[in-house]
Structure formats: C-alpha cells, structure tokens
Structure 1
Amino acid sequence: MPTQQEIEKLLQKSPYSASNQATLEAYVDAQAQGQAPYYQDANRSLLRIYQFSSQSADPSKIALILMLALLEYPSTDILAFSYLVPARTQKVEPCASVLKCAKLLESCKFTEFWPAVAAIEGDNLLKNLVTNSTQKMQSAILEVLSLTYKSASVAKVSEALNVSSANAITKLSHPNVESVQGDKIIFVASSENTKRNRVFQEGVDFGAIASMMAKVTAE
C-alpha cells in the first residue's frame, strides 16, 4: 500500500500521468479500508486521469471517491468532485445513490439521509465503508446542529442522528454537546450559535440550517 508521503511525491512530479492510475486506485482502497487518511488531492488526480482516459475509468473507484468525499461533510469536496464525473456515470449506481445522499445532506434533510445511505449498493469496499461510517456521519451532523443552535429538543436531534435516545447522543461524546437537560440538548456556546441566538423549544428548523450552511460553504 502506498503511503501518503509517496503519493505526495507522485503528485508533485506528475499529478495527471496515466502511469499513476494503479497507485492512486490502491490509495483510494486504502482510504476506504481506514488504512490511510483521506487525501483530496490524490482522489481529484485520479478523477482527472479518468477524464483524460475514459476507457480506463473504474466506476467502483469513482463511487468510493464520492463516498469518501461525502464523509467529509460539511466539506463541499463531493460537489467539486461531481464536476469531474461524467453525467452518464453520475446516473448509474452506485454513484447515483451516493450523489443523492450528498444532496440530502446539502439540504439538511437528515432524516431522509439515513435510509438513503443504508440503501447504497456496491462492491464490498463501498458497503463496508458505508457500514463503518455511521458514527462519523452522526458526529458531522451534530457539528452542523451545534453551529446553528444553542439548544434543540432531544427528539429532533435523535431524529437527525438516527438514534433513539439522549443516551445514544451522549455516547457520541461530541465536544460541542455541553449537556442534556430534560428533553433538550444544550450545545457549547460559540460565536455562530450565540450570534444567531436560536433556541428552539418545539424542534429544529432544518431549513434554517441549510440556509446557514450554504452561506458558510460559499465563504
């Protein structure tokens, strides 16, 4: 398995050389298996190589790259990568399902996201990546909620995270969760959620989150 340092040297020398394809594909697999850190530049380079030589493009690797980018939410890497993937490939499974999940996250439709991501089909690498990504995605969604709200109901946060109780939320040990007080999750005060002064008694306005995230990612 190539190391990140080896990949960096490869990209510095010739980032879009066809001779790099096998090495970059191996590194995508390593990322999916949790044996290497996520590396945006390496994955983008492989997509560009596929662009230059479409006959050699591996749809399963494209799906993995998109899924790895999805797991960086709220990063917009997957949006940038989608511009490097042909429209015909985007419409074919499993890429179509991964991109559907990305749109649900972008719109902060968290309750719809969970069944959609569970329905993704693909090779064993992709299936295992999806299965093993639950806690990471829960933490990412919790991060987004904490950026927007000072507090929210346990019921709504549980729904967004696809968990059944406040105890399950507490077990995530997210640094932005200050406490659970009765039926409310209290988030650590920040310049973002304090500035907005949003405290929802009846639930979480996911539309407001989507609007805020659109502004954040545009900056």
Structure 2
Amino acid sequence: MAEAMRQTVATMLKGIERYNPDNLPTLERYVETQSRENAYDLEANLAVLKLYQFDPQTYNVEITSQILLKALTNFPHTDFVLCKCLLNEKRLMESPIDHIMYLADVLERCDFETFWNRVHSMPELCSRIVGFHDSIRKFVCHVVGITFQTVEKSVLAQLLGGVD
C-alpha cells in the first residue's frame, strides 16, 4: 500500500499543490502508512510539517511524533534537523516531542546506552514505528564499524540495545 500511496503523494507534491491544505488528510494517512509498513518519504513528511506551519490549527502532535521518529531512523542523514527546523519552540517543548528531541540528542552524541534505556522506559513512544529498533541498530553498527577495530560481543550487544 505504501508504494501505491507514494505515487499519489508524489503527484500531490509537484508545484504549488505541495502546500494545498486539502491534501493534508491524505499526507497524514501516508505518514501513518509509512509507520506501519516501514517505508519513508522525507519530502512528504516535510510537506506535512510545512502545512502545520501555515495553519497551526491543523497541527497533530501524533503525526508530528511519527515524522520525527521516522527521521531519527534515517540517522546519520540530516532529515531530523530538517524536520525539527519546521517546528516552533513551543511545539519542541511539548510532550512527547520533547522526549523525541532528547532521544535525537543522545543518539547524535552516540550515547547508545542512554538512548536504549530511554527507549525501553517508554515503549509506547516508538512502538508505532515498524522497524524503528532495527533502523537505529543499523546506525549504531555504522558508528561502531568506523570507531572500533575490535569490540567484545557483550559490549556490542549493549550498544545495540541489549540484543542477544
């Protein structure tokens, strides 16, 4: 279903139609589809956040959370920063957005133990994002691969969030 929606959304995002407020419900459904089906479309997600900027009454914290968490799964790319820049300071301080900001901060600092402890302490935050843990583990593996020459199995398991 994500691939079919991707085509529809790609058409919507061309030209001036990108910021048509009538497209917002479809774009929000697409965000939820991305979360369920482990898909990712940065351009569509940025369009949603931009529409929220244009019309703050339409702001949906749940959709915004999903967008930010999906952007986190694309570390080390700058997607998260792009999304964050489309939110005002008040939104960044609201729960659960503030928790996601914290996760991004510790992940960017490569404080993986703190990251996993926080993720495990609030499973409801990330549970809607299919593939979240595996995507983060891929980033951790990337960092470990360029940082360590050798690493003990137990240390690697801890860095990967307690994987056996």
Fold conserved between structures, TM > 0.5: yes
The separation in 1 between residues aligned to 2:120 and 2:129, in whole angstroms, is 11
The separation in 1 between residues aligned to 2:129 and 2:120, in whole angstroms, is 11
The separation in 2 between residues aligned to 1:26 and 1:160, in whole angstroms, is 34
Q: What's the TM-score, normalizing by structure 1?
A: 0.67
The separation in 1 between residues aligned to 2:146 and 2:19, in whole angstroms, is 38
Higher relative contact order (CA 8 A, sep 6+): 2
Residue 39 of structure 1: aligned partner: 41
Matched, 1:134 2:133: yes
In the TM superposition, residue 46 of structure 1 has moved relative to its aligned partner by 0.4
Residue 10 of structure 1: aligned partner: 12
Larger radius of gyration, structure 1 or 2? 1
Deviations 1:14-47 (A, max 9, x none): 1111111001000000001016x20000000000
In the TM superposition, residue 110 of structure 1 has moved relative to its aligned partner by 0.4
Q: What one-letter code is carried by the residue in structure 2 that aligns with 1:134?
A: H
Deviations 1:123-144 (A, max 9, x none): 7xx53327x5222222221122
- In angstroms, what is the RMSD of aligned CA positions? 2.0
The runs of at least 4 consecutive aligned structure 1 residues that moved more than 6 Å come to none
Name which of 91, 94, 101 aligns with 1:92: 94
The separation in 2 between residues aligned to 1:122 and 1:161, in whole angstroms, is 19
Q: What one-letter code is carried by the residue in structure 2 that aligns with 1:156?
A: V
Gaps of 5+ in 2: none
Number of paired residues?
A: 161
In the TM superposition, residue 12 of structure 1 has moved relative to its aligned partner by 0.7
Q: What's the TM-score, normalizing by structure 2?
A: 0.88
The separation in 2 between residues aligned to 1:154 and 1:121, in whole angstroms, is 25
Q: Is the 8 A contact 1:104 1:113 kept in 2?
A: yes
Deviations 1:116-170 (A, max 9, x none): 12334767xx53327x522222222112211233322323222211226xxx3xx
Aligned-partner SS, 2:151: strand
Q: Is the 8 A contact 2:46 2:83 kept in 1?
A: yes
Deviations 1:82-114 (A, max 9, x none): 110121111111111111100001100000000
The separation in 2 between residues aligned to 1:151 and 1:121, in whole angstroms, is 31
Q: Which has the higher strand share?
A: 1
Residue 59 of structure 2: aligned partner: 57
Q: Is the 8 A contact 1:47 1:84 kept in 2?
A: yes
The separation in 2 between residues aligned to 1:135 and 1:121, in whole angstroms, is 14
Output aligned runs, 1:1-219, within 5 Å: 3-13=5-15, 14-34=17-37, 37-120=39-122, 127-129=127-129, 132-163=131-162, 168=164
Q: Which has the higher helix share?
A: 2
Percent of aligned pairs with the same residue? 25
The separation in 1 between residues aligned to 2:153 and 2:46, in whole angstroms, is 39
The separation in 2 between residues aligned to 1:146 and 1:122, in whole angstroms, is 30
